[in-house]
Amino acid sequence: MIFNGIDNQIVEIKITNYQYPGNNEGDWDSNWLNIFLNVISNIGNWQTVEASLTTWEVQILINWFYTLSNDKKPEHLDLSFTDSNLSFELFDNQNNTQKKFRIKFNLESRPKSATDVKEYFVDCLADSKN
């Protein structure tokens, strides 16, 4: 997925592989995915690869954006996951045609030079046509 942020910021999120590709047990370890991030933002540019989401959480994220693309309000405005590397926040602006949301980066999804006193995020504005 490539998200075009406000002010020409870009966030690319891509699944690269399973964290443990040889594990076929069907448990937590066999469902962790390595997530590639490429961030070009007002607060810096960086790339990371980290086991940040499970297969189940990717499906939750897909469903969340599917709901938004159909001009419906999702059950949760904040979407966070088991590993707190990535999260999403929908700003409820009472406008069903345009959605403003924030992609937040934490822990290993931040740049290597990150500090705990600074928040790392990209705000995006989308409508169901984008």
C-alpha 41/C-alpha 56 separation (Å) is 28
pLDDT digits (tens, 9 = 90+) for 95-106: 667 899 999 999
C-alpha 76/C-alpha 68 separation (Å) is 11
pLDDT digits (tens, 9 = 90+) for 29-68: 889 999 999 999 999 999 999 999 999 999 999 999 999 8
Read off the pTM.
Answer: 0.91
The full set of domain ranges for the chain reads: 2-127
What local confidence, expressed as pLDDT, does residue 128 receive?
A: 66
